[in-house]
Amino acid sequence: MRNYSEAEIRDVVVIGHGGSGKTSLGEAILFDAKLVTRLGRVDDETSNLDTEPEEKKRRGTINPHVVAVEWQKSKLNLIDSAGQGDFVFDTLTAIGAADCALCVVSASDGVQVYTEKTWEAADALHLPRVVFVNKMDRERADFEGVLDQVRRVLSPSAVALQLPIGSESSFEGVVDLVAQKSYRFSDDGREVIVGDIPASMAAAVAEARNKIVEEVAGSDDELMSIYFDAGTLTDDELHVGLQRAIAAGKIFPVLCGSAAQNRGIQPLLDTLVSLLPPASLGRVWTGTGKSSAEVRRSPRSHEPLSAYVFKIIPSEVGKLALVRIVSGKISADAPIWNSTHDKGERVGQLYVFTPGKRTSVPEAHAGDIVGIAKLKSTRIGDTFSDEKEPVKFAPPQVPAPVVRYSLHLKGKTDEAKLAQKLHDIHEEDLALSVEYDAATKETLIGGCGPIHIEATLDKLRRVGVEVELAPPRVPYLETIRGRAKNVEGKHKKQTGGKGQFGVCFLDLEPAPRGSNLIFEDAIVGGSIPRQFIPSVEKGIRERMSRGGLAGYPITDVKVRLFDGKYHDVDSDSRSFEMAGSKGFLTAFKQASPVLLEPYMKIEVSIPEEYMGSIIGDLNNRRAHISGMESQGKNQVVIAQIPMSETLDYSAFLRSATGGRGSFSLAASHYAEMPQNLADKVIAAKKHVEEEEE
């Protein structure tokens, strides 16, 4: 593959809902570009794009896949992205690395949830977009209905540049409204038969073409003047006007076809090359330079180097960084500066991606996407730049986990191997969270949904690590509401020879929330020797860590040690530790002990029509709603909710809103648990302890 300049490159991310046929469209593009000799199919696991075992198993994209396609003396870097919310982080990162987007919509299913979400992400970056209505050969295919839905849900600026010839089983090809020609296709789709517009479609074509002319004229003052004077636009004026309007986000062209039948794909490729802006006209990236000053980088090869790492993937040559070159150029076998870590790296080979292989190139220019292997310190979200003119682009915002599970080893796998493999997977997938909860003594794995977690477990199994999941334990705490006065803690043991003896007297009362233990030494007159007082406190703290009600840590108590007894021979540090522990436990049980449960701050983003049912459910989950606010097309409900009520919330919200809702969680505070619920937790915990004994 030859070297391409920024004026010849287009970086296009393929977005849309899972099942709309994004990967199938990519397969048809590879076939028409003669990069493969057989049309790959997702259903029979012959896809050239979905290469990971987890993707083949689920018949859907998980990781972003980049493929370089040469078409009409231009280079298209296509980024196939996932169409499920469980893999939203990688999809949003891929959108951030592109200059344009190709939005795939099913002709039978229309605009679905994830189509909206990915469209909004591309809209936030002002990316030019093309809509491709796929699956025109399927039952219930309805181009006009989908076009109307695209205009209502995605953008009123969507304009059809093609009309289908037939639909469902009679789908034959497309009519190009700009060129005013029909395109039919050979059995394998590679041969395009150009003809006249079918007579039966003449009126519809004329009406649709006039719509294009009006929209293009309305997008530009100069063209509007020409349109008023001449009543129309020439083909050249229409073409240039479309280029400008698409680049400015004023028009979103809509095309159609069938990826499975390879019909309409070549005209789509022609449109991507002729109407989408090249990388040289792409967006300007903004980052921070020296002294946190704002730095802007334009897609020009003569500017200082800046590049962005948007994905790390496993490969035969080690971990491979997918890098979008923003400005300047990168050469093989040359040093490079990682400005995120202020550290030098060395580039070995530079790779571009074609089906089933990586092709080495000597250098790559602004706007290109390349793979770089064996980088030692580089991570997702890092920036490469000129060391003398550094810039750092903002790293991607990692979403908080919406599901968490407790991870338990199965079989003979050791913990060190599990930890290493989880670390390796996390380097490739930042949305996967792995943490150790000291309160519950569990390793917790979190992600963007259950399918995300399942795919992670499949990756672990591939390397021989077997684990099982369980709901995470809720880190309850124990505290007191009342007081206990003049409580004796006594430890006395005589087994022959030197015995053990220690006595302490305690007062116990509640302390402010968050203070854990306030220990007051009120000993006077030497009733307990000074050297043993720290031992009493140590015994109290040890008892607090083991709980006194249901085995959960005790917090927020004040202990006053005011008296005690000792023996000249039998008293020692251990005796007073035991006396402190026993006295504290006795006092704790007398001081009205209660269970505290953790609360989370939850923000639920939903379309307005779901507000009633979602608020009702939150109330049923004992949430305290603190506010509501508008956010784009959605409403956001803000509340504090017990952690125990959130363990199944991801599945509920997806079901209740058809996948249109999303939520985030953050730790908030602890509050007293209702007694009827606390009794169940205490009973279950005691039962577990009896079994463990």
Rounded Cα distance, 294 and 490, in Å:
68
Q: Is residue 686 part of a domain?
A: no
- The owner of tokens 């070995």 is 348
Of 158-167, 424-433, 590-599, the one with minimum mean pLDDT is 424-433
Quote the pLDDT of residue 689.
Answer: 44
Q: Which long-range contacts (CB under 8 A, 24 or more apart) does 117-125 make?
A: 117/85, 117/88, 118/15, 118/16, 118/81, 118/83, 118/91, 119/15, 119/154, 119/155, 120/632, 121/15, 121/91, 121/92, 121/95, 122/13, 122/15, 122/95, 123/155, 123/249, 125/95, 125/96, 125/283
pLDDT above 90 (res 165): yes
Q: Which residue has the higher pLDDT, 684 or 382?
A: 382
pLDDT above 60 (res 609): yes
Q: Of the ranges 230-239, 460-469, 684-693, which is most confident?
A: 230-239
Quote the pLDDT of residue 418.
Answer: 85
Q: Which positions ≥6 away from 216 have C-beta within 8 Å?
A: 223, 233, 238, 241, 242, 245, 251
Does 530 share its domain with 547?
yes
CATH of residue 353's domain is 2.40.30.10
Q: Which residue has the higher pLDDT, 635 or 315?
A: 635
The two three-digit tokens of residue 352, written as one number: 């571009």
Does 83 share its domain with 170?
yes
Does 346 share its domain with 366?
yes
> Can you say whether the dihedral through the CA atoms of 679, 681, 682, 688 is positive or negative?
positive
Q: Which positions ≥6 away from 540 have C-beta within 8 Å?
A: 517, 519, 559, 580, 581, 584
Rounded Cα distance, 319 and 375, in Å:
8
CATH of residue 607's domain is 3.30.70.240
Average pLDDT, stretch 515-533?
92
Quote the pLDDT of residue 686.
Answer: 64
Does 491 share its domain with 535?
yes
412 confidence band (pLDDT: 50, 70, 90): low
pLDDT above 70 (res 71): yes
Q: In 140-177, which positions are buried (b, 16+ CB within 10 angstroms) versus exposed (e)?
A: ebbbeebbebbbebbbebbbbbbbbbebeeebbbbbbb
Does 365 share its domain with 494?
no
The total number of structural domains in the chain stands at 5
pLDDT above 70 (res 688): no
Quote the pLDDT of residue 691.
Answer: 34
Does residue 93 contact residue 82 with C-beta atoms inside 8 Å?
no
Q: Which long-range contacts (CB under 8 A, 24 or more apart) does 437-444 make?
A: 437/472, 437/473, 437/475, 439/475, 439/553, 440/406, 440/472, 440/473, 440/474, 440/475, 442/406, 442/407, 442/472, 442/473, 443/406, 443/407, 443/418, 444/404, 444/405, 444/406, 444/407, 444/472
Query: Of 591, 623, 645, at which residue does a domain stop?
Result: 591
Q: Is residue 556 part of a domain?
A: yes
Which residues span the domain enclosing 613?
Answer: 596-676
CATH of residue 426's domain is 3.30.70.870
The two three-digit tokens of residue 587, written as one number: 């006092």
Of 391-405, 526-540, 674-688, the one with minimum mean pLDDT is 674-688
pLDDT above 70 (res 464): yes
Does 54 share its domain with 167?
yes
Rounded Cα distance, 561 and 380, in Å:
54
* H or E element, residue 536: helix 533-546
pLDDT tens profile 110-136: 998 889 989 999 999 999 999 999 999
Query: Of 254, 281, 308, at which residue does a domain stop?
Result: 281
Q: Is residue 186 part of a domain?
A: yes
Three-state SS at 666: strand
* H or E element, residue 655: helix 649-657
Residue type, 424: D
> Do you know the residue count of the chain?
693
Q: What is the dihedral of CA 143, 144, 145, 150, to 10 degrees?
A: 90
Quote the pLDDT of residue 390.
Answer: 93
The two three-digit tokens of residue 592, written as one number: 């009205």
255 confidence band (pLDDT: 50, 70, 90): very high
Give the percent of the chain with pLDDT over 90: 63
Quote the pLDDT of residue 690.
Answer: 40
Residue 649, φ and ψ in degrees, nearest 5? -70, -35
Quote the pLDDT of residue 692.
Answer: 36
Query: Of 281, 316, 338, at which residue does a domain stop?
Result: 281
Bridge partners (DSSP) of residue 296 are: 286
Does 121 share its domain with 12?
yes
Query: Distance of CA 44 to CAs 54, 263, 454, Å?
Result: 14, 20, 22
CATH of residue 182's domain is 3.40.50.300
Does 178 share its domain with 49?
yes
The two three-digit tokens of residue 316, written as one number: 């035969």
Q: Is residue 523 part of a domain?
A: yes
Q: Is residue 253 part of a domain?
A: yes
Q: Is residue 684 part of a domain?
A: no
Average pLDDT, stretch 169-178?
94
Does 427 share its domain with 463?
yes
Average pLDDT, stretch 646-656?
88
pLDDT above 50 (res 693): no
Does residue 304 contact residue 389 with C-beta atoms inside 8 Å?
yes
The two three-digit tokens of residue 675, written as one number: 């007694």
Three-state SS at 474: coil
Q: Is 356 left (phi over 0), alpha (psi -120 to 50) or beta?
A: left
Q: Is residue 179 part of a domain?
A: yes
Does 521 share its domain with 543?
yes
Bridge partners (DSSP) of residue 624 are: 640
Query: Distance of CA 576 to CAs 421, 487, 490, 532, 590, Å?
Result: 46, 15, 8, 6, 21
Average pLDDT, stretch 189-207?
93
Does residue 614 contact residue 652 with C-beta atoms inside 8 Å?
no
pLDDT above 70 (res 31): yes
Q: Is residue 690 part of a domain?
A: no
Q: What is the dihedral of CA 229, 233, 237, 241, to 10 degrees?
A: 100
Residue 562, φ and ψ in degrees, nearest 5? -125, -10
* Parallel, antiparallel or unpaired: strands 357-361 and 383-385: unpaired
> Can you say whether the dihedral through the CA atoms of 448, 451, 455, 461 is positive or negative?
positive
Does 450 share its domain with 544?
no
Does 568 share its domain with 601?
no
Quote the pLDDT of residue 284.
Answer: 93
596 confidence band (pLDDT: 50, 70, 90): very high
